[in-house]
């Protein structure tokens, strides 16, 4: 039997954890943005699946390894577990057009703003009998590419003012999010889980 699900697609760096100006390569460098964990836990309780969609071109650049990225993702789940939460799925794109790499170039078309990773998540959830209700799903991130990815995937984009805070750039490029929030907590608690978003 198929079941309809709503999903929060979340960018990682600058949205869930503080942007440190370079690639996060260790647990020590992964610092949650205030109350991001609480907000994710509340969204999950409200029935949203949590899917992380992150560009990790530091891999193609030789700055971080896939193993380090995965360890940091595990660490995020350990932090979320303290709030009785977890993410459901995580997709990362290791490639970068400016840093050709024999192993990773095959993933270049996954790189945000491409909606490929979102589409992969939707396909993987479908294998579990879960049909993503895109009109009730959101993409939250701190960059224009996140908003564009959400728009191209047909989900509702929200920009957060943490991380790179590309609010001005979104306006300049006419890549318009449905909503702009100060941070992930405000996006989830003040918008997605409030009657205003319905
Ligand atoms: Mg980001």
Distance 128 CA to ligand 1 centre (A): 28
Q: What is the pLDDT of residues 28-49, one digit of tens each?
A: 999 999 999 999 999 999 999 9
The pLDDT of residue 1:
79
74 is catalytic: no
Q: Which residues surround ligand 1, an ion (CB under 5 A)?
A: 11, 13-14, 142, 163
11 is catalytic: yes
- Within 8 A by CB and 6+ apart from 136, the residues are 6
Q: Domain count for the chain, please give it.
A: 1
Distance 61 CA to ligand 1 centre (A): 17
Distance 3 CA to ligand 1 centre (A): 30
CATH of residue 37 = 3.40.50.1000
Distance 16 CA to ligand 1 centre (A): 8
Structure tokens that stand for 35 in this block: 């109350």
In angstroms, the CA 48 to CA 68 distance is 27
The pLDDT of residue 61:
96
Nearest to 147 by CA among 161, 136, 127, 133: 161
Question: For the chain, which ranges sit under pLDDT 70?
Answer: 196-198
The pLDDT of residue 161:
98
Task: Look up the domain containing 133 and give its range.
Answer: 3-197
Beta strands in 3-146 (DSSP E): 3-10, 48-55, 89-93, 130-132, 138-141
């Amino acid at each position: 039997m198929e079941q309809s699900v709503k999903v929060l697609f979340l960018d990682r760096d600058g949205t869930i954890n503080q942007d440190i100006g370079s690639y996060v390569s260790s647990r020590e460098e992964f610092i949650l943005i205030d109350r991001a964990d609480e907000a994710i836990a509340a969204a999950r309780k409200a029935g949203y699946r949590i899917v992380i969609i992150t560009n990790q071109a530091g891999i193609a650049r030789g700055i971080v390894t896939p193993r380090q990225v995965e360890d940091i993702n595990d660490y995020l789940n350990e932090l979320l577990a303290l709030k009785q939460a977890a993410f459901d799925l995580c997709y990362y794109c290791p490639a970068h057009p400016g840093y050709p790499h024999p192993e990773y170039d095959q993933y270049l078309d996954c790189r945000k703003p491409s909606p490929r990773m979102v589409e992969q998540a939707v396909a993987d959830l479908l294998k579990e009998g879960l049909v993503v209700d895109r009109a009730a799903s959101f993409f939250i991130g701190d960059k224009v590419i996140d908003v564009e990815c959400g728009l191209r995937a047909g989900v509702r984009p929200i920009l957060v003012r943490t991380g790179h805070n590309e609010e001005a750039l979104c306006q300049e490029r006419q890549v318009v999010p449905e909503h702009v929030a100060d941070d992930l907590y405000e996006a989830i608690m003040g918008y997605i889980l409030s009657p205003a978003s319905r």
